[in-house]
Structure 1
Amino acid sequence: MKYEQPSIGVYICHCGMNISPKVDVEAVAAFARTLDHVTVARDYKFMCSSPGQAFIIKDIREKGLNRIIVASCSPRMHEATFRKACEQAGINDHYFQMANIREQISWVTKDSNEATAKAKDQVAAAVARVVYHAPLTSREIPVKKSVVVIGGGIAGIQAALTAAEAGYEVHLVEREPSIGGHMAKFDKTFPTLDCAACIMTPKMVEAAQHKGITLHTYSEVASVEGFVGNFKIGIRQKP
């Protein structure tokens, strides 16, 4: 991969009145301009707004920025928004870094000077980090539409039936010789005092006869490998 000299843009968000009353955003922007590799640093009332994103896109295209930092709210709120702005401007979205100066600083720090100092530290850390970011690409992998439900009690049986009805291949694993769990041992259910067997038995039969459900009774999960969407589950059946 060809090395590219970092050219960083730093954008400090006021977040309306959520950040600026505690954090001196102008001072943080001025501080950011003194950091290595920072080409431009701005503050704006709402960076997540269309005009705020336009600043980022314009600076990337006109000033040749190749890394972007936004100091604002939690990444859970608008990280995807700013990543899309980076992509729209023509740089890889993984050249983006967010600094949370709202939830982690403004909302929890009483003293303005202390909050501003913390925000400067957050921005400096983000600048130091984004220098080492690398461009990543997203790719799709095939996902097998199958589900493992661990535990054959009433909750597990219902989960298996729901998944099977949705079209998934289901493996229901139960460590006892039969499904049913604790509910199968009860006479009545709380709080209605309905007959437990009257509720449970039809579901047990339905799960056993459903073509989309494979029962693994007297079995335990032996191993779990892989990742979300592509797990490999090892099942050990007791002798």
Structure 2
Amino acid sequence: MQRIGVFVCHCGSNIAATVDVKKVVEIIAKEPGVVHAEDYQYMCSEAGQSRIQEAIREKNLTGVVVCSCSPRMHEATFRKAAEKAGLNPYMVEIANIREHCSWIHKDMQEATEKAVILARAAVAKVNLNAPLQPGESQVTKRALIIGGGIAGIQTALDIADAGYEVDIVEKTPSIGGRMSQLDKTFPTLDCSACILTPKMVEAAAHEKINIYTYSEVEKVSGFVGDFTVDIRKKARSVNMDKCTGCGVCQEKCPSKKIPNEFNRGLNNRTAIYTPFAQAIPNVPVIDREHCLKFKTGKCGVCSKVCQAGAIDYDQQDEIVTQKYGAI
């Protein structure tokens, strides 16, 4: 069993006006493992921190619970105070009885009962806590952006301009996202393509940015700073290194009545297609679901008319595994 000290803060009248602080101390002092309980006007003050340090030394405390304001404000303060007294800082827990209790209740009895519950929970946690030591791990200085819309493109440019490698994964055949489908943007009614297209070109040309289009994230493992990600590069059935983007394959394709997703089905596209004129990369993709070659095995027109020899019906999905520090 731990030897726990509980310190309940009045926080001026922020807590004490709604919570019966003395009663909280009286009840929590009877909890298993609690060997010391007291209240003080401002526990975060220098005098309040000194009281915590004195109790740690005199009562041989192995854990501390501070019932006060949000840990976002003073968790680091109380941990440093405990560490100065020789206690492992990770044996300090904060029960937030201000934001989670006094500020949202009007009835003192109700607020006091809840403050006791929060304090008991913190005591129970300390009883199960173990001292920790801060560690360090290597960070992979590479970022993954999921989605190649305007937000993804701008994020990639910002990170790349800061000097870090960035990969963009976009599930459609081109980056651009929804903004590429818009005519004008609110509130200035500026031309959408005029804003987006230069950024698309800049991202494609940036030496720190690698773009995976027609691809999806298959699996993510690891933790912040060291993620391992499997990316599935779906088969375009077109060799991106050989394709020149001439468009002859699309002109000659006999399957011409497929609803065009880019134009929300208002017109039709071919089975081998580029989503829109400014697409990046400007390389078509074969829609195998509607392609006669894949459905019947009898077409192959695009392969016959492609002078670059870029059509590859045997192309398969590829899994790329990469390390990232941030996603």
Same structural fold, with TM-score higher than 0.5 when normalized by the shorter chain? yes
Partner of 1:219: 215
Q: Within the alignment, does 1:74 sit opposite 2:63 as a pair?
A: no
What is the letter of the counterpart of residue 191 of structure 1? P
What is the letter of the counterpart of residue 215 of structure 2? S
Matched positions, count: 235
CA distance in 2, matches of 1:172, 1:131: 46
CA distance in 2, matches of 1:129, 1:149: 37
- Please list every run of 5 or more consecutive structure 1 residues that lacks an aligned counterpart in the other structure: none
Say what the alpha-carbon RMSD is for the aligned residues. Answer: 1.7
SS, match of residue 41 in structure 1: strand
CA distance in 1, matches of 2:7, 2:24: 10
C-alpha change, 1:110 and 1:171, in structure 2 (3 Å) is same
Who wins on radius of gyration, i.e. which is larger?
2
Counting only pairs closer than 5 Å after superposition, residues 134-173 of structure 1 correspond to structure 2 as 134-173=130-169
Structure 1 residue 224, shift from structure 2 partner: 1.3
Structure 1 residue 157, shift from structure 2 partner: 1.2
Q: Within the alignment, does 1:188 sit opposite 2:171 as a pair?
A: no
CA distance in 2, matches of 1:189, 1:116: 53
What is the letter of the counterpart of residue 45 of structure 2? S
Candidates 169, 172, 179, aligned match of 1:176: 172
Runs of 4+ off more than 4 Å: none
Candidates 112, 124, 129, aligned match of 1:133: 129
Deviations 1:89-146 (A, max 9, x none): 1111121122122222222232222322332333233323312211111100000111
Structure 1 residue 203, shift from structure 2 partner: 1.4
Partner of 1:93: 89
Partner of 1:232: 228
Partner of 1:52: 48
Structure 1 residue 66, shift from structure 2 partner: 1.3
- Please list every run of 5 or more consecutive structure 2 residues that lacks an aligned counterpart in the other structure: 236-327
Candidates 112, 124, 127, aligned match of 2:120: 124
TM-score computed with the length of structure 2 as normaliser:
0.68
Partner of 1:63: 59
CA distance in 1, matches of 2:109, 2:190: 63
